[in-house]
Amino acid sequence: MKRFAWRLNRLLEIKTKQEQKERAELFKLTETLAERRSEMMLRKKMLKDVIDGLAEADPKQRLGQQEFFLRHAGTSDEQIRKLKDRISQLESQQKEKIAQVLAIRRFKEGLEKLRIEAKRQFIAEQEKLEQNELDEAAIVSFVRKAQS
């Protein structure tokens, strides 16, 4: 029996590798996004802790500490705003990457269905050819017996 060879097998392999590559990129992107979110939460917590510390401080010392805090609060707010912008940018990239992975997966699954169908047809054709050969051998054998 002939061996099954599918013409689009190379395309299926390429799509499989492409899906793996896109999944790896998505994983890296998700890790980066998680790092940025934790960094932003840490910065917000530090600001909150400083504000809480100022509220509890002695009124005489608090005035100088508040002045120092207010001078640097703008910088901290700017850093948090930049982190928020980066996070929203990463989230949009993540959505795009998820859409790409899903599109590749759908295409690949379609190819796999086509491959299964082609293999089923191949096997059916081979079985039909084999049955025809068996029928011919039986007819030849019957004719030989009948002539003897």
Tens digit of each residue's pLDDT (9 = 90 or more) over 60-118 = 777 777 777 777 888 888 999 999 999 999 999 999 999 999 999 999 999 999 999 99
For the entire predicted model, the pTM comes to 0.74
pLDDT for 59 equals 75
Largest pairwise CA distance in the chain: 127
Q: Are the C-beta atoms of 47 and 76 separated by less than 8 Å?
A: yes
pLDDT band at 119 (very low <50, low <70, confident <90, very high): very high
